[in-house]
Amino acid sequence: MAEHVEFVGGYPTVESAAASYERSDRHRAVEAYRFFYPTVSLEAILRGTRAAGGVDNEAAPLVVAGPIRVGYTLNSDTPYLGGGLDLRAGPLVVELPPGPLVGMLDDHHHRWLVDLGLPGRNGPRGGKVLLLPPGHEGEPDAEGYEVVRSDTWQVLFALRVLPLGGDLEKADALIRQVKVYSWERRADPPAFTFLDRDEQAMDSTPLAWEDNLEYWRVLHSVVDSEPAVEELRPMLGLLAELGIEAGRPFAPDERMARVLTDAARQGRDELLVSAFASRREDRIAWPDRRWEWVGLRPENGTFERGGSLDVEARDRWFAQAIVASPAMFRRGAGAGSLYWLGHRDADGAYLDGGRTYRLRVPLPVPYSLFWSITLYDAQTRSEVVTEQGRAALRSLFEKLEPEGADHVDLWFGPDEPTGAEGRWIRTAPGRGWFTYFRIYGPEQAAFDGSWKPGDLERQD
């Protein structure tokens, strides 16, 4: 298809105008796909938790994530609690007990609203957040509450508890003290229901929709049910040109259905290029290592930079992860956690599930809480699935720091190497994989280069 428009007497020809519309619709659809992927991803989380028994404002799954859970870069380091909040019921309170809880609230477009627990205003002291719905008028008498306003009716409530000392029983008891209730019921809050789902498979991703027409149906359902957010007006206008608009049925004709389907495939592919083949120089964690920063905007949790939105950093994050907050991206001692991405070996090749790799980790690792490494399937961006039934090595639960040793070797591959001593994760031949190296409570050496892990070295 020609990329130029033919004019006769200053006017576009019929054929050339039709071709121009085709290109324009395709370009708009690809850009809309990429921009609204976080929205569709968050809708997938809400639907996934409801499918597992979650009820907005009343009940949410409580799990230690493992390979039976399909969820973008979830990990088994800590118990998770997550579910939907529906502000059409009016203002809601989220109340946390004192202790090592970490979480946030995100609106329906996956935009950060507030941090909860350790990274929040009250830190380990717990506290109460009053969440106000769109258009709520007046200031409630909320002394002692942190007041937060949402631009959307639906909000994601995500929380985890750090099992300090490896005490999962104590951590479980703490997170079950969390309360969610309406502002009107604050004097006598109803009980919040915690759903034990450790053994239940769950899918909280848009994988089933992300490369086909269903992506746009899901996006339309969100746009049709939520207020028009002022800062999103230009992109909502772009969607309207594609037939996706509040108050208007989504009924694409054959041509538009084809355009949107092709755009979903192209948009998905471009997001994964941003995630795994980035050309950004600021992705490099250390110049002599292959490790990369997962988050490229350490100064905030909203992907803002001076005067603009860093759309490439946003694409990269949401192609492989969920939720975002300032605490997840800070690069300073005492930050909540650090995430490094490893998806290439020491020679620069992508990691192959049919090969064996060694990772040498210098000891001691600079942490105040714990550290872990988790393996993910490159296609699903979820924990690797093998008959071993595990995808992580965690300093809280596995013996990763031999007494007196100056390093520890971790192993990844289809078969356990001799001498791995349980420090091995099985990978699946024919599947690419990547890993996140996480440090919780990182210390200064994690930032100044005086400590850094080795590269993943292929052994066969």
pLDDT band, very low/low/confident/very high, at 141 (cuts 50, 70, 90):
confident
Per the CB < 8 A criterion, the answer to whether 410 and 373 are in contact is yes
Q: Is residue 40 part of a domain?
A: no
Q: What is the pLDDT of residues 65-106, one digit of tens each?
A: 889 999 999 988 888 999 999 999 999 999 999 999 999 999
Domain carrying residue 141: 52-203
What CATH number does residue 309 fall under?
2.60.120.600
Q: For residue 460, what pLDDT is reported?
A: 81
Q: Is residue 79 part of a domain?
A: yes
- Is 317 found in the same domain as 417? yes
For residues 378 and 439, state if they share a domain: yes
Q: How confident is residue 335, by pLDDT bands cut at 50, 70 and 90?
A: low
The answer to whether residues 268 and 411 belong to one domain is no
Q: The whole model's pTM is what? A: 0.95
Domain boundary among 274, 295, 313: 274
What would the mean pLDDT of 152-173 be, rounded to a whole number? Answer: 91
* Half-sphere exposure for 104 (CA within 13 Å, toward CB): 19
Share of the chain above pLDDT 90, in %: 83
- List the structure tokens of 232: 């999103």
Q: Are residues 292 and 250 in the same domain?
A: no
Whichever domain contains 243, its CATH number is 1.10.3360.10
In DSSP terms, 311 is beta-bridged to none
428 lies in a domain? yes
Comparing C-alpha atoms, which of 397, 418, 399, 396 is closest to residue 408? Answer: 399
Instruction: Report yes or no on 338 lying in a domain.
Output: yes
Decide which of 203, 226, 249 is a domain's last residue.
Answer: 203
- 229 falls within a domain: yes
Helices and strands in the chain: count of H runs, count of E runs: 8, 25
Distances (CA, A) of 329 to 99, 300, 313, 324, 450: 22, 7, 12, 8, 20
| CA pair distance 123, 175, nearest whole angstrom | 15
Q: How far apart are CA 407 and CA 273, in angstroms?
A: 34
Residues 430 and 305 in one domain: yes
Is 157 in contact with 180 (CB distance < 8 Å)?
yes
Domain stops at, among 172, 203, 234 = 203
Average pLDDT of the chain? 94
Mean pLDDT value of segment 128-145:
90
Instruction: Establish if 41 belongs to a structural domain.
Output: no
Residue 243 lies in a domain: yes
Q: Are residues 253 and 196 in the same domain?
A: no
3-class state of residue 214 by DSSP: helix
Same domain, 199 and 251: no
Identify whether 65 is part of a domain. yes
| C-alpha neighbours within 13 Å on the C-beta side of residue 438 | 24
CA distance 57 to 203: 20
Do 226 and 348 fall within a single domain?
no
Rg, the chain, Cα only = 23
Q: What is the pLDDT of residue 1?
A: 46
Q: Are residues 61 and 162 in the same domain?
A: yes
Within 193-273, strands assigned E span: 193-196, 202-203
pLDDT at 317 over 50: yes
Number of domains in the chain: 3
Say whether pLDDT at 296 is over 50.
Answer: yes
CA distance 102 to 128: 14
Per DSSP, the residues of 133-161 read: PTT--S----TTEEEEE-SSSEEEEEEEE
Name, in order, each residue with C-beta under 8 angstroms of 281's C-beta and a sequence gap of 6 or more: none
